[in-house]
Amino acid sequence: RLFTDPAHLLKSEYDFVVVGAGTAGNVIASRLTEDPANSVLVIEAGATNFSNEDILAIEVPFTASNALGNASIIWNYVTQPQVAVDDRVIPYQRGRVLGGSSSINFLVYTRGSRDDFDRFARVTGDSGWSWDVIFPFILKAENLTDPVDHHNTTGQFNPVVHGHSGPVLTTLPGFPSALDPRILAVTQSNPAQFPFNLDANSGNTIGVGWTQTTAGLGQRSSSATAYLQPALNRPNLDVLINTQVTRLINIANKSAVPDLREVEFALNSTSKRFTVRASKEVVLSAGAVNTPQLLLLSGVGNSSSLSALGIHTVVNSPFVGQNLQDHPLLANQWLVNSNTTLDDISRNATLSADLLAQWEETRTGQFADGGGGLNQFAWLRLPANSSVFDGFKDPSAGPTSAHIELFPVNEFVSFSDPTPDTGSFITFVTNTVSPASRGTISLVSADPFTFPAIDPAFLTHPLDMAIAIEAVRTASAFLATPPFEGFIIEPFGALANATTDAELEAYARAGTSTFWHPCCTTKAGNSSDKTAVVEANLLLKGATGVRVVDASVFPFIPAAHLQAPVYAVAERAAHLIQLAWAGK
């Protein structure tokens, strides 16, 4: 049942209380309530999008980025001034609605590499996180569906590495882009630098290949539509929305190990506080910003920082909120000789309305696909002898993980500037996918309704800056290949005047923003790892009764967009929880 008012809850204790109906939280809620013996309460700060089918920014794949401006469905965060990128404050939205960030993200479906998960297993000492063991959980989450145009997809993906009966719908691009033949031709003309990869989701991400998205039948598939909605009528599942969890309360006797199985929550900052208990576990799935915030508010953190804010320390855990990693985004535009870019969609309201009408009637056309005609992407490694690594250890997880990603979009993309009134553009969004920089989430106040301080520390590690520059050079090299001859007119804007290292660095400082992939803020590690906040089985160290299941637990950021790795972690975590309580 769906509750909108905490006063209406009928029970004061459940087996499991899940904090956050986001990407991971809904997997946990859905899997645990498959067993009628488990009772589960999910508490979500945001609203439902089930009763209001009209949040187009959530449903229409092409216009997903509109969600960033919809205050009713986001945590409208910004970063601290970013010292390595001209002290700019960067918008840092998260989803605040059923489905969490899976309801507002850009739908790109990438799982990360074999090496990403094998490193996860190595540093936690739990082989269960290795690629081979987690792979069945990846498949369990997925149902690969036909693209909306039902074209023949042979040669565009590898069917054996996909799930076909899971809840999350995925698909291949369903609308051809004029860029497709050129990009694919580069893999023929320059295979040494830009090899073709049949499927970046096979465990080996390296190369150029077709994208996949979390959409099906022309519309977004989120953890809300895939996991939560089908489970909502189960009698053992209650979901409380519009309600913010404010802290976990220690219910142990004074000298005992802290037991944080009481959850406090409220409708808003001035309203009454309520509590509920979990007889088995509290599962924190509030995301990589809010999970550490909640732990700190509950007295789990660095004791001196906590006491400075007047918060009593329950567990001295200095690394809560540390180790924040994210992917820096740089959008590089070129003016092109083409009349088939998608720029007119954002310039011409009638064209946009027509495409929306087509989507509404038949769930087909350009709007049924992810934004920008992004039909292929490239995940590439820099050579081991590249001078960028001089004096540094390669931060990537291994040979199947990339250093850079090129994200070619068939229109002008910028998160700071509008599309110019004239001209045709393509954009190569570049990504430093195995960054070395690490930032923090910290409290500025003991008030749970005050936003935490978010510092992703973008490009603060010199290696990240060097790789970001190499990524721009690699995008230029891609466009200098024979298939793009006569197509590129010139680089646009500041890129036109950036060629030397110093100029490219200034360009990267001025333009870098985020891929919205915060993670690692309560990272998992083995029992002796003092920098780890949770154990390999994701239980909070130093306390009983709390498990963290969301993007916070990655020890290192995967070389991927994060939703698929989060689904994988959540599917395995649900299995671990079931095993832990079997027969109890």
From candidates 60, 148, 179, 245, binder to ligand FAD by CB under 6 A: 245
- 281 with 548: CB under 8 angstroms? no
Which of 20, 365 has the CB closer to ligand FAD?
A: 20
Question: What DSSP character marks residue 399?
Answer: T
- Backbone phi, psi, residue 454, to 5°: -115, 120
- 534 with 548: CB under 8 angstroms? yes
Which of 43, 543 has the CB closer to ligand FAD?
A: 43
From candidates 161, 282, 397, 562, binder to ligand FAD by CB under 6 A: 562
- Backbone phi, psi, residue 19, to 5°: -100, 110
Minimum CB separation from ligand FAD for residue 22, in Å?
A: 2
Q: Is 107 in the site for ligand FAD (CB under 6 A)?
A: yes
| Contacts (Cβ under 8 Å, ≥6 apart) of 422 | none
| Site map (CB under 6 A) of ligand FAD, residues 353-382, x = contact | ------------------------------
Q: Is 24 in the site for ligand FAD (CB under 6 A)?
A: yes
Of 280-299, binders to ligand FAD (CB under 6 A) are 285-288, 290, 294
DSSP-derived 3-state class of residue 582:
coil
Q: Is 267 in the site for ligand FAD (CB under 6 A)?
A: no
From candidates 9, 17, 19, 573, binder to ligand FAD by CB under 6 A: 19
Question: What DSSP character marks residue 531?
Answer: T
Residue in the shown chain whose Cβ atom is closest to ligand FAD: 22
Minimum CB separation from ligand FAD for residue 572, in Å?
A: 14
Query: Considering Cα of 131, then 135, then 138, then 142, what sign does the dihedral take?
Result: positive
From candidates 61, 95, 395, 558, binder to ligand FAD by CB under 6 A: 95
Which of 101, 375 has the CB closer to ligand FAD?
A: 101
Q: Is 566 in the site for ligand FAD (CB under 6 A)?
A: yes
Q: Is 239 in the site for ligand FAD (CB under 6 A)?
A: no
Question: What DSSP character marks residue 309?
Answer: T
From candidates 6, 61, 100, 163, binder to ligand FAD by CB under 6 A: 100
Distance, CA of 39 to CA of 19 (rounded, Å): 14
Size of the site for ligand FAD (CB under 6 A): 41
Return the range that interacts with ligand FAD (CB under 6 A); candidates 102-110, 164-172, 406-414, 523-531.
102-110
342 CB neighbour count, 10 Å cutoff = 24
Strands 404-409 and 273-284: unpaired
Output the CA torsion 547→42→53→218 (10° steps): 30
Minimum CB separation from ligand FAD for residue 110, in Å?
A: 6
Alpha helix ranges (H) inside 190-300: 223, 229-231, 287-297
Q: Is 413 in the site for ligand FAD (CB under 6 A)?
A: no
Provide the terminal-to-terminal Cα distance of the chain, rounded to the nearest Å: 25
Question: In 3D, which of 244, 225, 300 has the Cα closest to residue 19?
Answer: 244
Structure-token pair, residue 552? 């916070």
Which residues in 121-167 belong to E strands, given as ranges?
142-145
From candidates 16, 106, 367, 478, binder to ligand FAD by CB under 6 A: 106
Which of 93, 512 has the CB closer to ligand FAD?
A: 93
Which of 44, 464 has the CB closer to ligand FAD?
A: 44
Distance, CA of 290 to CA of 245 (rounded, Å): 10
Q: Is 22 in the site for ligand FAD (CB under 6 A)?
A: yes
Q: Residue with structure tokens 């089918």? A: 53
Structure-token pair, residue 485? 């001859």
Q: Is 516 in the site for ligand FAD (CB under 6 A)?
A: yes
Return the range that interacts with ligand FAD (CB under 6 A); candidates 23-31, 185-193, 275-283, 435-443.
23-31
Residue ranges binding ligand FAD (CB under 6 A): 19-25, 43-46, 68, 93-96, 100-102, 104-108, 244-245, 285-288, 290, 294, 516-517, 550-551, 561-564, 566
